[in-house]
Every structure is written in C-alpha cells, then in structure tokens.
C-alpha cells in the first residue's frame, strides 16, 4: 500500500471559509465517512486562508540571513486549502478516491505519493 497526499486547491477568491462555500460541507463529510469506512483515509485537515501564511527562507542558504515574510510563498489564482492522506494499493485506486473529494469538482486535487521519512528509501524518479 502507498500513502498519497491529496492536495486540495481552491480558487483564491472562493475559499472554503466563505459563506457560499458552506454548501460543500456535507459533501466533504460524506467523503470522510466513506473513505474512513473503507479504511483508506489516514488523515487530513483544512488550512486557513493564504493571508494567514508566513513564509520562511534564508537569503542565500543555511548560514545567511533568515527572511520571514507575511503571506504566501507565491501569488496564485488557486491556492492550497487543505489535504487528505489516502492509503491506496496504487495510483488508480488513489485517483478513484480523489475524484470523490469536492475540491476536484470546482478546483483541483493534486495526488502525490508520500516519501516515508523513517527510512532510507527514495521512490523511483525521486
């Protein structure tokens, strides 16, 4: 089984915190129940709007000046708004689950295999 991050992207001007987006709450709940009952949901959370982000970097590498900026790393029409962790046999199964996430119907869901951080293995092509 492989763990996939399903990254949820929403239009920046129609974020999940806006009142008109509350109509999707039931669909997210239904996805959570179905994926949980099937044993594929391993976690997930919604993220606060990008205006609450803080970006951290160094001016020129590890030993240079720390730079802290209010706001997101990049300006974009669509923003990362949340994620689910889905455990699936393969990409096809993960895709079937990701297609049930409401963000896919009005934004985008990006699937990425998760690299285990508790061992030396790196996925092919990584």
Task: Give 7-41 pLDDT, tens digit per residue.
Answer: 998 887 776 667 777 777 888 889 999 999 999 99
Residue 121 — very low, low, confident or very high, per pLDDT cuts 50/70/90? low
3-state secondary structure of 59: coil
Surface-to-core class of residue 117, CB atoms within 10 Å of its CB (0-12 exposed, 13-18 middle, 19+ buried): exposed
Instruction: Identify the CATH class of 2-48+77-113.
Output: alpha beta
Question: b/e string for 71-86 if b means 16 or more Cβ within 10 A?
Answer: ebeeeeeebbbbbbeb
For the chain, domain boundaries? 2-48+77-113
As a whole-number percent, the residues of the chain with pLDDT over 70 amount to 89
pLDDT averaged over the chain?
85
pLDDT for the residue numbered 125: 54
The per-residue pLDDT for range 64-77, each reduced to its tens digit, is 999 888 877 677 77
């Amino acid at each position: 089984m492989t763990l996939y991050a399903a990254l949820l992207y929403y239009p920046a001007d129609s974020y999940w915190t806006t009142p008109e987006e509350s109509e999707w709450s039931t669909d997210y709940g239904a996805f959570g129940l179905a994926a949980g009952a099937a044993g594929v949901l391993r976690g997930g959370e919604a993220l606060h709007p990008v205006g609450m982000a803080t970006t951290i970097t160094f001016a020129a590498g590890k030993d240079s000046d720390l730079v802290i900026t209010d706001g997101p790393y990049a300006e974009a029409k669509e923003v990362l708004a949340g994620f689910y962790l889905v455990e699936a046999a393969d990409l096809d199964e993960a895709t079937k689950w990701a297609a049930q996430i409401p963000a896919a119907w009005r934004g985008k869901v990006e699937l990425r295999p998760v690299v285990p951080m508790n061992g030396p293995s790196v996925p092919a092509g990584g």
